[in-house]
Structure 1
């Protein structure tokens, strides 16, 4: 009787929530054979499907299915293995990389993948004067390769086709993270023919070499993205599903209810407390995504009073991180001390966190000239993120602690795309944000998120707009070294500087629970936040 009542309640809840959210998916209408359709529930829609133009995980988890990179990561870590390139070699001076490409690979539009296509993509991204350098700001390229062609710190000197299936990268200087960077989804290879047809609208009509391609009229904004099988995928026998649907259901509870009812097959953005329910339900399976992430509160150091380090340090002392973990993460997180997780090499274990001490925080504020505190807008995301399942509730919790030191906050929230746009332009005073590591290299956290190079708007990676010359010198030296031991020592020094200057409050590193129907096979969540789903199936 209990199970039947629960089922009725679940169905009613879904019907009600669908009127306000996005509704349920009728699996009978999702494809010719329901068993060949996989439905992935998530908290927000993609921003763009041109991977070179985005930094958000909701976009990249979809483009990861449509496109391929030259190299890729292993299934369970960030070790680099072949993809569109079968093998590669590096020159003795470390400045030239040669990649030998797979033969017979086709883009979804039937055109050939070859060395010219690789050259075209990199030139489009790196050269602001390229005729198809359009459709966005290509932010990740600048983050990972030191800007664009002509910038002093630009890593890549030239990309040339040696022959139809060999491509050469010449670098201006050695780059420790270069190979790992190439495996990142933003550097996937697109069809030159499709991009040239309309470089702006390409983000709606992506064409890659991946296991899935976008269906005709396959993107219904804020609802669903439908991908269909690529019958000519270069990995023979894959994908195992005919159709892959990404369904946007912003409310975590509604998404979990849809999973329990069988309207979706897998989901992310689960409330941590719901992991107990998953474990007790034989029809469901709990999946844990390794916590290569950081949730943080960024202070816009270009705006008063956050131009004063003492103010930033005071607010660090006013946050009860363990209380946040207990209240919103079901203890599936650990307090963050540094801007990178301790699962990465180069982590500085000797850095001591600011203590949670309201009286000392008040004293520091007084020393900074704010004995009675101040008023400030506090940006908090309304959509769930893997590193922060409920940003508004976390903000409200922190709001109470800040009030204890006289800092009155007005919480401001927007949909995910608007939120990213506004913080990327620096419109905030302070903002909750987070990051999921892309490549397993400390450079991807410290340089991308805190170096002065990445304060470029409108897509700043460093949303604290923190500029430190000593930090910059260390991060560039580390980036241009190929000795991991030397790089590790430099990153440890960098973390000392960051802790003292306090451009952030590092909050937590989350262990991310996700769930699927128990008949979903082959899904293994990757530390980077996105994984290919060509080998995932439903056994019914």
Structure 2
């Protein structure tokens, strides 16, 4: 889980009873053990320190608890904070903390923990999560007050982030830079045993755990007593092991593989709403996309329904604006959404002076309407690019597809060497608009190069002048409506998170809670037999 990361991952979970795996913990034969194999988006984390991490895996959500948990519908739920209150002017937040909680090293969790914790983010990669907090006041042993530099209704979202897992102050300070490598101490349902960078992390159940959030049926110790989280990047290996019984649970199954897996009688499936959008990104600094009419025509030529059916097997949703549908900020005026309209697309290009030649290719001032479409080598992205290529041909645009690895694509975006690109993002907050379209983020991640006084004014209001959550929602709706009106992107597809598991091995809750299959579900999973 990287900050505003691009999600295209597969993770697998293997669960079996009494495997007798090596390690410092020796499970009894009757105690269920588990192996999680992490996919591409979670591989490579150099440590499990949430304060200084730029990349975290599922491991962090199991070791550390957060003050607040976020559910699949983006609602917020108490955890280490039993309740919270934001003042009307947005300048203070008061949290009542759960009592009776202890870290894995036996140290108590209390208000002093929070007063130590928040300042630790100063100078870290995750400082932005709490940079609106001026200071923490200890009201009593189990009450803290955040005094703000500015109103920040998005603080509640930040506190639910995996980067806001709370470590033990004593262990953290003692370990220094080794925290998260040689030890990782939280209050979560699983305890750290060992970590081999790039290979695996071993966890054992916290048998004292009795403060699970309301997202879990099981409020106590997890049913699985030992977990080994392995880094296995090859998806085909994971699929084969799932079918042969070597793997119990597959996280993040790509849509194109679902029909193959659904044919297996021993497998069952769960899903959660996705984290992001597949979209076309324009470079407004590169012709012909400096012209809003050409951008609009391109957007209207894309048939989201056809791509959903042919690339994603009808799984997920058509995307018609930039935010995921579970966000209230996505509920904009329907008339402003981007939908397929081939006739209007051709009309726009006619008016913009792009005339069709005898060969069907449009020409203006002697220059043909030929563009390069950048895409990375991942299968769904390549297939999306190919269909977009065919759809844009219908408006007289010739598209040449350039396929690169993901690192090269990002390098091109940073240098502004692209014209049009198929991209994906993974982020469940409206501030993704700021990430991609604020002038402060040029040349990257604002690789569109968009600079507009009105857009930036709306961005500043949404990001910095919203005092309450309701104000923030209204302001981000206005900001997105402005960006859509300038046709800076073409929304295509909103994925779901697919999970396939062996139902002869696992009992997985019918309803998944949380924004991903992490702590809230992990404590409820049982091994069959």
Identify whether the pair has TM-score above 0.5, normalized to the shorter chain: yes
- Structure 1 counterpart of 2:526: 537
Tell me if 1:409 matches 2:401.
Answer: yes
8 Å CA contact 1:210–1:233 kept in 2: the answer is: yes
TM-aligned CA deviation for residue 307 of structure 1: 5.3
- Structure 2 counterpart of 1:504: 489
- SS of corresponding position for 1:293: coil
- Structure 1 counterpart of 2:384: 394
Tell me if 1:102 matches 2:105.
Answer: no
- Structure 1 counterpart of 2:206: 230
- Structure 2 counterpart of 1:9: none
Tell me if 1:87 matches 2:94.
Answer: no
Q: Structure 1's 530 and 498: CA in aligned 2 closer, same or farther, altered over 3 A? A: farther
- SS of corresponding position for 1:326: helix
Tell me if 1:114 matches 2:118.
Answer: no
How high is the TM-score relative to the length of structure 1?
0.75
8 Å CA contact 1:175–1:481 kept in 2: the answer is: yes
- Structure 1 counterpart of 2:50: 51
TM-aligned CA deviation for residue 302 of structure 1: 6.0
TM-aligned CA deviation for residue 478 of structure 1: 4.0
Give 5+ residue unaligned stretches, structure 2.
1-9, 212-218, 355-362
Separation in structure 1 between the aligned mates of residue 325 and residue 245 of structure 2, nearest angstrom: 37
Separation in structure 2 between the aligned mates of residue 22 and residue 355 of structure 1, nearest angstrom: 34
Separation in structure 2 between the aligned mates of residue 173 and residue 161 of structure 1, nearest angstrom: 20
8 Å CA contact 1:275–1:286 kept in 2: the answer is: no
Separation in structure 2 between the aligned mates of residue 302 and residue 23 of structure 1, nearest angstrom: 42
- Structure 2 counterpart of 1:517: 502
Separation in structure 1 between the aligned mates of residue 409 and residue 171 of structure 2, nearest angstrom: 27
8 Å CA contact 1:315–1:361 kept in 2: the answer is: no
TM-aligned CA deviation for residue 351 of structure 1: 1.3
TM-aligned CA deviation for residue 39 of structure 1: 3.2
- Structure 2 counterpart of 1:68: 65
TM-aligned CA deviation for residue 286 of structure 1: 0.9
TM-aligned CA deviation for residue 194 of structure 1: 4.5
- Structure 1 counterpart of 2:455: 471
Q: How does 1:262-411 map to 2 (within 5 A)?
A: 262-272=245-255, 274-276=257-259, 278-279=261-262, 281-291=264-274, 293-301=276-284, 309-310=292-293, 312-346=295-329, 347-348=331-332, 349-353=334-338, 355=340, 357=342, 359=346, 366=354, 371-373=367-369, 376=372, 378-380=374-376, 382=378, 390-399=380-389, 405-411=397-403
Q: Structure 1's 341 and 188: CA in aligned 2 closer, same or farther, altered over 3 A? A: same
- Structure 2 counterpart of 1:492: 477
Aligned pair count?
Answer: 481
Correspondence for 1:259 among 242, 245, 269: 242
Correspondence for 1:123 among 113, 119, 124: 119
TM-aligned CA deviation for residue 276 of structure 1: 4.5
How high is the TM-score relative to the length of structure 2?
0.76
8 Å CA contact 1:290–1:526 kept in 2: the answer is: no
Separation in structure 2 between the aligned mates of residue 274 and residue 381 of structure 1, nearest angstrom: 17
Give 5+ residue unaligned stretches, structure 1.
1-20, 149-154, 383-388
8 Å CA contact 1:373–1:408 kept in 2: the answer is: no
Higher Rg of the two aligned structures: 2
Q: Structure 1's 483 and 208: CA in aligned 2 closer, same or farther, altered over 3 A? A: closer
TM-aligned CA deviation for residue 337 of structure 1: 1.3
Tell me if 1:189 matches 2:189.
Answer: no
